[in-house]
Structure 1
Amino acid sequence: MAQKDVLGRQGEQFAAEHLERSGYSIVDRNWRCRQGEIDIVALRDGVLVFVEVKTRSGIGYGLPSEAVSVSKLQRLRRLAGAWCAEHEPRIRAMRLDVIGIVVKHGQDIRLDHLEGVS
Structure 2
Amino acid sequence: MAQHNETGKQGEDEAVRYLVQKGYEIRERNYRHQHAEIDLVAQKGKLLIFVEVKTRSNTRFGQPEEFVTYAKARLVMKAAEQYIFAKDWPYDVRFDIVAVTVSPESVTIRHIEDAFY
Q: TM-score range by the shorter chain?
A: over 0.9
Q: 2: CA distance between counterparts of 1:32 and 1:76?
A: 9
Report the equivalent of 1:110. Answer: 108
What is the percentage of aligned positions where both structures have the same residue?
34
Question: Given the two structures, how large is their TM-score scaled by the length of structure 1?
Answer: 0.93
The Cα of 1:85 is off from its aligned counterpart by 2.1
User: Which residue of structure 2 lines up, in the alignment, with residue 11 of structure 1?
Assistant: 11
Whole-angstrom CA distance in 2 between matches of 1:100 and 1:65: 5
Aligned length: 116
SS in 1 for 2:106: coil
Alignment-mate amino acid for residue 101 of structure 1:
V
Question: What stretches of structure 1 move > 6 A for 4+ residues in a row?
Answer: none
Shift of 1:87: 2.1
Offset, 1:98: 0.2
Asked if 1:72 is matched to 2:93, the reply is no
TM-score of the aligned structures, taking structure 2 as reference length:
0.93
Query: How do 1:19-98 residues align onto structure 2 when only pairs under 5 Å count?
Result: 19-90=19-90, 92-98=91-97
CA RMSD, aligned part only?
Answer: 1.1
Give the secondary structure class of the aligned counterpart of 1:82.
helix
